[in-house]
């Protein structure tokens, strides 16, 4: 799951010194209001980004963000500090977002198409040339089902087996939806570059 942590640090310029982070964690474990405030203000932008990628709605994302931080501060004493704090928090926010989607009956309407036997490998190296903003915009435009799978596999780092268990779907469905998402993203990237080239000529 290191890939997502790297992405967050790059995109949100999360550069807390380890000693500062440890101090904040210790303060939060003691229910220090100032430490909680600082932790929230520092990580809220990144966590809101996670919430938005799942809800695709700014107001709903804020609701998930609020609920997620309640869980973070409630469960902070269970954080062993062996792994990264951002990774631990991310798992809480992803779980909270999925719970929100279930409670709002959004998961059952997702267009997860079962074509496990027709998976194609799609080259997406061009996507790496895009800015973080462009990538997130393209992801937000994907259909619900493959957007969810792409978020969980490519950005969060969950395996297809883990995704299948979390969403109660077949592992092959997760794989096929990810392949479909890559194909759609490749098409979006091509259109973006074509538009940019035409504009710069």
Q: Are residues 79 and 141 both part of a single domain?
A: no
Q: Are residues 148 and 79 both part of a single domain?
A: no
Q: Are residues 139 and 194 both part of a single domain?
A: yes
Q: Which residue has the higher pLDDT, 194 or 44?
A: 44
Range of the domain at 132: 110-200
- Mean pLDDT for the chain overall: 80
Q: Are residues 28 and 43 both part of a single domain?
A: yes
How many CB atoms within 10 Å of residue 193? 13
In degrees, rounded to 5, the angle at the alpha carbon of residue 48 between the alpha carbons of residues 136 and 129 is 20
Instruction: Report the percentage of the chain scoring pLDDT > 90.
Output: 39
Full-model pTM: 0.76
**What total of structural domains would you count in the chain?**
2
Q: Which of 72, 91, 108 is the last residue in one of the domains?
A: 108
Residue 122 has pLDDT above 70, yes or no: no
């Amino acid at each position: 799951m290191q890939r997502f942590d790297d992405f967050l640090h790059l995109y949100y310029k999360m550069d807390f010194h380890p000693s500062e982070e440890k101090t904040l964690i210790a303060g939060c474990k003691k229910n220090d209001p100032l430490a909680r405030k600082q932790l929230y203000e520092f990580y809220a932008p990144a966590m809101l980004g996670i919430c938005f990628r799942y809800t695709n709605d700014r107001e709903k994302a804020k609701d998930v963000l609020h609920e997620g931080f309640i869980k973070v501060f409630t469960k902070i004493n269970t954080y062993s500090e062996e792994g990264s704090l951002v990774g631990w928090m991310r798992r809480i926010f992803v779980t909270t977002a999925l719970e929100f989607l279930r409670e709002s009956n959004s998961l059952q309407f997702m267009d997860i198409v079962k074509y496990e036997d027709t998976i194609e490998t799609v080259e997406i190296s061009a996507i790496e040339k895009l800015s973080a903003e462009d990538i997130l915009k393209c992801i937000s435009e994907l259909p619900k089902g493959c957007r969810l799978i792409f978020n969980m596999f490519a950005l969060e780092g969950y395996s297809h087996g883990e995704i299948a268990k979390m969403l109660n779907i077949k592992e092959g469905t997760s794989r096929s939806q990810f392949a479909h998402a890559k194909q759609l993203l490749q098409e979006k990237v091509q259109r973006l570059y074509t538009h940019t080239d035409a504009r710069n000529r």
